[in-house]
Amino acid sequence: MNFKRLINKSLSLRRETFLAFIKKGEAHLGGSFSMIEILIVLYEKILRKIDVFVLSKSHASFPLCILLREKGLKTKLTTHLEIDRKNGINCTTGSLGHGLPIATGMAYAIKKKKEKRNVYVLISDGECQEGTTWESLLIASKHELDNLIIIIDYNKIQALSKLKDALPLNNLKKKINAFNCNCINVKDGHSIKDLLNAFNKKFKSKKPKVLIVNTVKGKGIKSFENDPIWHARQLKGKEIDIGKKALGIFK
């Protein structure tokens, strides 16, 4: 497996996303940078043309839109996504807690029609504080939706606070297992190898699959990492120079 190519693509996507933040004058940098490797692995190695991807945490939509554009689609670069299936956006998301219920419904419909397609949904850890998430897991388990793959971006920061200070999600894997799901803890969500191993892991039981992906909010710019302020903050002044230097941007 050529991990170097995927690592380089991750760096490239971070750079393009950072430049887009500057150009647009807005930035959900923290949550965008925490999920870069997840997107690269999904779109380069995991997703088939027949599969469906839903980004529930679509305040962090810039890297997905840029990635889809690089693949030749005319995806609108916007914060919070509106449905545009022909350009890779499978449903409207942005109101947190809605992406997983929609994806669960999609997976259920696909299974009822006996189609061999998977539905992948990327949610924030903050969404695990919402009742719709746990209701969706109950439904997915009951209907044996083994075609539903849920990815939790577990960067442990929500909006302007840390999870442990707002509403802790301790023992998250035990909680998910209790809802009768197959759960994998990915210790390094920025490791291409670890992500590939998790996505490719097979289970015999017919249950939804959940990946708890431990990530770093703001990954790639050391000065910005694990700081809640970078959930949503316009880049300006010296911050732009700091980011460019960290990412190796020389233009």
Per CATH, the number for 3-247 is 3.40.50.970
Instruction: Classify each residue of 30-51 as buried b or exposed e, where b means 16 or more C-beta atoms within 10 Å of its C-beta.
Output: bbbbbbbbbbbbbbeebbeeeb
Q: How far apart are the first and last CA of the chain?
A: 32
- CA angle 113-121-4, nearest 5°? 120
Burial class (CB in 10 A: 0-12, 13-18, 19+), 114: exposed
Half-sphere exposure of residue 49: CA atoms within 13 angstroms, side-chain side: 2
CA–CA distance, 77 with 249 (Å, rounded to integer) = 21
What is the residue extent of each domain of the chain? 3-247
**pTM score:** 0.97
**Which of 95, 88, 84 has the alpha carbon at shortest distance from 59?**
95
Residues 99-108 pLDDT 10s: 999 999 999 9
Which H or E element spans position 157? strand 157-158
Q: According to the model, what pLDDT value does residue 94 have?
A: 86
42: which DSSP letter? I
Hunting for tokens 């990915």 — which residue is that?
186
Burial class (CB in 10 A: 0-12, 13-18, 19+), 125: buried
Q: According to the model, what pLDDT value does residue 123 have?
A: 98
Cα 119 to its chain centre, rounded Å, is 13
Q: Over its length of 251 residues, how does the chain's per-residue pLDDT go in tens digits?
A: 779 999 999 999 999 999 999 999 988 999 999 999 999 999 999 999 999 999 999 999 999 999 999 999 999 999 899 999 999 999 999 889 999 999 999 999 999 999 999 999 999 999 999 999 999 999 999 999 999 999 999 999 998 899 999 999 999 999 999 999 999 999 999 999 999 999 999 999 999 999 999 999 999 999 999 999 999 989 999 999 999 999 999 86
Q: According to the model, what pLDDT value does residue 160 have?
A: 84
Query: How far are the Cα atoms of 165, 172, 219 from residue 227, in angstroms, in the given order?
Result: 14, 22, 10
Cβ neighbour number for residue 55 with a 10 Å cutoff: 26
Handedness of CA 134, 135, 137, 138 (dihedral sign): positive
